[in-house]
Copies of this chain bind each other. A is one copy, B any other.
Amino acid sequence: MPLINISIPKGKSPEYVKAIADGVNSAVLTTLEGFPPDDRYQIIHEHQSYELEYQTRLGDRVMLYLIMRSGQKPEAKKAFYRKVVENLARSPGIDPANVLITIAENHDIDWSFSGGVAQFVQ
């Protein structure tokens, strides 16, 4: 947890993609509660520039959609948002104005991380 969908413009290097994924993952681990260090589940989607409609932005931009269990405190979510843009500004150098984040929540029973087992409700 969480499962994070990350959408970015097409054509970036693996290193650029990795920097974004790492920065988001680090923000999860340092601001949200209860996630072990190896708890990384990320899906990166690449799109043509005209397929990422983010108001009128045309430059490098990141649109993030997280699914996670409910229970994170509002202050933790706020800290997460701040840390994501801080990390991505440092590397790979994304303007904080060009990062959108939204979260959808679910429940213990809604997760199977491996082996077809519902790990939170065994």
A52 within 8 A of B: yes
- Is A115 in the interface zone, CB < 8 Å from B? yes
Give min CB distance, A52 to chain B, whole Å.
Answer: 6
Chain B residues with CB below 8 A from A103, complex form: 106, 110-111
Contact B77 A100 (CB under 8 A): no
Checking B41, B51, B83 against A63 with a beta-carbon cut-off of 8 angstroms, the contacting residue is B41
Please list the residues of chain A having a beta carbon within 8 angstroms of any beta carbon in chain B. 3, 5, 7, 14, 17-18, 21, 25, 38-48, 50-56, 63, 65, 67, 74, 77-78, 81-86, 96-106, 109-118, 121
5 additional contacts (CB under 8 A) given A40-B54, A81-B116: A21-B51, A40-B55, A44-B52, A74-B118, A81-B117
